Chains A and B, each alone.
Chain A
Amino acid sequence: IQPPEKPLQSEEWNRLRESFSSPEIFEDVMLNSMINCNSPIDVAKSLLTHVAKSRGDIAYSLLVKYLALCVQQGKTSEILDMYDIMKVRFKVLESGAYNLLIRGLSNSDQWRMALTLLEEIKKIMTPSRTSYESCIKAASRHQEMNLAFELYHEMLDKDLAPTLDALQAFFDYNRGIKSAELQKKLFGILFYLRDNQIYPHKTFMQSIKLWFESIPGGNWRGHLTNIEDSGQCPVCNHQLEDSELTEEEYNNLRERIIRDVIHGTDTFRKTSPQEFEAFQTFVENRLPFDIVIDGLNVSHMKQRQKQCENLFNAINCLAKGNARLLVLGRKHMLINSSNWRKELMKEMQDKAEFFFAENISEDDPFLLYATLRSGKHCKFVTRDFLRDHKACLSDSTTQHLFRKWQRGHQIAFYSSLKTMFLSFFIQQPALRYDCVVQTTGDTWHIPYKSIFEEKYSYQVPRKWLCIQQKG
């Protein structure tokens, strides 16, 4: 329904109500559509007056909707009035009203009241991250940086992920201040981005850039750039951190893969203890490998070719330079069939090591284990994104480690139709540098994504902000 443009008299509301198909929810529907159309609040007021007159009371849901309209239009005095009314009528409010009040008040000169409200919510539940965002923004806007940082740390303590907008506020409202302590705190936020592999969006990146450049006497200069495949920044010629994991991270990841992915709740779900043991001795006796190949995945690369031919091509392609190859497959590949021809299998087995798992076992956990066991130089080949195995890892730090390792070590083949007769595959190389916020003290490199760019979790942004200090 279309809300009226001008305030109506009671009788007119009555008439409208009766013409509506279900009169019992008329007011709710009307107020909702007022919010959608951003109607003038006088119209809403006249509706509330009508309701109050005819019933002597206004339902809470209507009050909240009216509040939403006020917040949407930034009517501070109304919001304050609403707070008074609601506070007296009801002992506590619920999260929806609190969120609205905080959002509305934090944008006004009554922003301190938003903080009082935040305290009030904490007594009954965890405030939402957007409520925190509003308060942090309000505090930053009024140069109460200590308060803003306090709220930020409180969020982290409560395991709430701060919104990017809240983080951006810190950079927006601290320009031009020279303070070692403040600088340290803002670097802390950049490290938070690094630790959680969060990429700022373009406007946030601009805020960071402007903040750096505004530090008096800091001599920071920022440039937007693309990093080359070699991992060298074209602006400052600095080599980015490589994607290798530290010894400790590497061992940690390997332990966790064995524990969570291979064994999980029950070793029998993906393999069996006997089979895994056999595989372990097989790998130990032939270490180390340079490339581990998911045979079945690679064999399905081109639909029109026989599966064994696909695998044969891939092995030939990778066997150059005396790389030690391990191919993982399943036992059914050994049975002579049109897809798996025996002579070709024989020929392949001369060029690479093969391990055949049971037909009902999963081969991916073996792939991960063999690669991790062979050492940091070892890469693996599959087009699988390995999302399900990542999901088996129990905590987000290990999942991040896994992604990082995967970016550095996975080779994916894509067959291209155009160059079919020239080269068989397009090889997507593993990235040599690590795509996270990073610093060397006098340089910062920050990857960012443009706002509308669609990015999958396994992809990393290719655009970077390079900030360097000119001594």
Chain B
Amino acid sequence: MQSANTLLKKIARSSVLPFAAQHGMKKDFFPLSRTLSLSLCMKQDNSCSPSDKIDLDEWKKVMKSGLQEVSETVSEHKELSTLAGARELLEMWKLAGRSVPENITEEQLKNFIECPSKSAQKKYLKFLYLKELYKKNDKRKMIEKRERKMEEQEEESKLDNNKRNSFIYFRANSMDKACNWRVAQSMIFGQSLVFDMSYEKDMSFREVTNTVRQIVLSESFNRRSADPFHIYFCNLKEDSLYQKEFIKHYREAWDRLLVTATDQCYTEVFPKDKLIYLTADSPKVMKTFDHDKIYIIGSMVDKSIKTGVSLARAKRLGLETAALPLEKYLLWSSGAKNLTLDQMMHILLTLKDTGDWKKALEFVPKRKHSGFVNKPVHELKKTLSLINTLKLGKRQEEIRNQFAKNYSKKLTQK
């Protein structure tokens, strides 16, 4: 019976169906009844011929054409493995216009399956999609740039400029050497700066990779600065995720890097009273940069805002803490007060060189504040609240009274 059904289905699909579908007639799920209604429809077909009207269901014919071959392969529907199934699903999502990457590796696919929830899956896919997009854009720009360069070179080749080319090359190389020389010197005589690498278990995989990226940036800024720090990576365990990510970034250069990496804690390396832990949660605000102290930065990217993690670490070890005086110098508007590691590095390097807070805090992202404060903050707040109350029209009299009082005070003082 079943085989007869499938046979019927095939016949119906291959020959008559496109005809019938043309009229959008109602079909049933069961193939047997379908053939019945087909014949009914055929009769109708004779009665009216929509020749000059638009054939509204023609597209179905197109979609169903060439079905025979396809349907046969599909009919051997075998169970898909989860991995292949996921790949299939992603393919469909791509067709449906969702943010899904073009290519996905086996490893990424596994990560995708292991996501704990649907929204996590969605987020992960979007992340991969955007990453792919940026990469593609970068590549395109690179090619454009190369082409432009080639054109320029062709133009320049008319002139004789072999010398200039070799000159640029020479300069870059010697710059490198000079930088390395300065860093090597700082490793003997320079001020130390500690990155505390003990936050691995407080972070997700992506947060760790972001952290390492930021540290790599910081290290390169430091290397190129006039008076670099001697960088310490403390609590860096062998075979930790941090370490693996570092090696991914630096490759063989990791062993030649002019930093001190150790699995010891900073309290074992330095005297405790010289250490200051920098954390945005600290109740103490940094006033000046102290050249005799050793500052510690927590190597942590904290996307989910876990407050007090680094402060807890400092409390446990009984270390002094400090926060940057962001409120004092900047009119903070939005965003968290924790800055990225490379921003911290810029700020500390500038402070070290100049001691100028204004210059140093230029590196705080502009979107987070609305400019520098030129008066003491409490005064500013006072005028701000005055403006607000005036705007709201509340308690106007009170303010007027206060004003009058102050004014008369001033008069009497004179």
* Residue B159 interfacial (CB < 8 Å): no
Shortest Cβ distance from residue A82 to the other chain B in the assembled complex, whole angstroms: 9
* Residue A335 interfacial (CB < 8 Å): no
Q: Most B CB atoms within 10 A — which of A9, A76, A90?
A: A90
Shortest Cβ distance from residue A368 to the other chain B in the assembled complex, whole angstroms: 17
Q: Please tell me if the beta carbons of A81 and B60 are within 8 angstroms of each other in the complex.
A: yes
- Point out the residues of chain B lying under 8 angstroms from A267, CB to CB: 312
Q: Please tell me if the beta carbons of A88 and B59 are within 8 angstroms of each other in the complex.
A: no
Q: Please tell me if the beta carbons of A270 and B308 are within 8 angstroms of each other in the complex.
A: yes
* Residue B42 interfacial (CB < 8 Å): no
Q: Most B CB atoms within 10 A — which of A48, A64, A76, A80?
A: A48
Q: Please tell me if the beta carbons of B56 and A360 are within 8 angstroms of each other in the complex.
A: no
Q: Please tell me if the beta carbons of B92 and A60 are within 8 angstroms of each other in the complex.
A: yes
Q: Please tell me if the beta carbons of B60 and A93 are within 8 angstroms of each other in the complex.
A: no
What is the interface size of chain B, counting residues whose CB is below 8 A from a CB of the partner? 44
Q: Please tell me if the beta carbons of A80 and B29 are within 8 angstroms of each other in the complex.
A: yes
Q: Please tell me if the beta carbons of A269 and B308 are within 8 angstroms of each other in the complex.
A: yes
Shortest Cβ distance from residue B117 to the other chain A in the assembled complex, whole angstroms: 10
- Choose one: B21, B70, B96; the contact of A94 (CB below 8 Å): B96
Do A49 and B58 contact each other (CB < 8 Å), given the known contacts A90-B92, A125-B89? yes
Do A81 and B62 contact each other (CB < 8 Å), given the known contacts A92-B89, A94-B93, A268-B315? no
- Point out the residues of chain A lying under 8 angstroms from B54, CB to CB: 7-9, 46, 49
Contact flags A248-290 to B (C-beta < 8 A → 1, else 0): 0000000000000000011111101000000000000000000
Shortest Cβ distance from residue B68 to the other chain A in the assembled complex, whole angstroms: 10
A: contact size bracket: 35 or more
- Choose one: A61, A80, A93, A126; the contact of B118 (CB below 8 Å): A126
- Choose one: B62, B70, B85, B308; the contact of A88 (CB below 8 Å): B70
* Residue A145 interfacial (CB < 8 Å): no
Shortest Cβ distance from residue A261 to the other chain B in the assembled complex, whole angstroms: 13
Within 8 A of A (CB), among B301-339: 307-309, 311-313, 315-316
Q: How far does the alpha carbon of A124 sit from the alpha carbon of B84 in the complex, in Å?
A: 10
* Residue A58 interfacial (CB < 8 Å): yes
Chain A interface mostly: helix
Q: Please tell me if the beta carbons of B64 and A52 are within 8 angstroms of each other in the complex.
A: no
Q: How far does the alpha carbon of A338 sit from the alpha carbon of B401 in the complex, in Å?
A: 22
* Residue B150 interfacial (CB < 8 Å): no
- Quick one: closest A residue to B53, CB to CB? A7
* Residue A37 interfacial (CB < 8 Å): no
Q: Please tell me if the beta carbons of B92 and A93 are within 8 angstroms of each other in the complex.
A: yes
Q: How far does the alpha carbon of A89 sit from the alpha carbon of B88 in the complex, in Å?
A: 13
Q: Please tell me if the beta carbons of A360 and B62 are within 8 angstroms of each other in the complex.
A: no
- Point out the residues of chain A lying under 8 angstroms from B399, CB to CB: none
* Residue B136 interfacial (CB < 8 Å): no
Q: Please tell me if the beta carbons of B95 and A61 are within 8 angstroms of each other in the complex.
A: yes
* Residue A430 interfacial (CB < 8 Å): no
- Quick one: closest A residue to B317, CB to CB? A268
11 A-B residue pairs with CB within 8 Å:
A52-B59, A59-B95, A60-B92, A61-B97, A77-B26, A91-B77, A110-B29, A124-B86, A125-B118, A266-B316, A268-B315
Which residues of A pack against B, CB within 8 Å? 7-9, 28, 42, 45-46, 48-49, 51-53, 56-61, 64, 76-78, 80-81, 84-85, 87-97, 110, 113, 123-126, 265-270, 272, 359-360
In the A-B complex, the 10 residue pairs with the smallest Cβ-Cβ separation, listed nearest first, are A268-B312, A94-B92, A60-B95, A52-B59, A52-B62, A77-B26, A45-B56, A269-B308, A269-B312, A48-B59
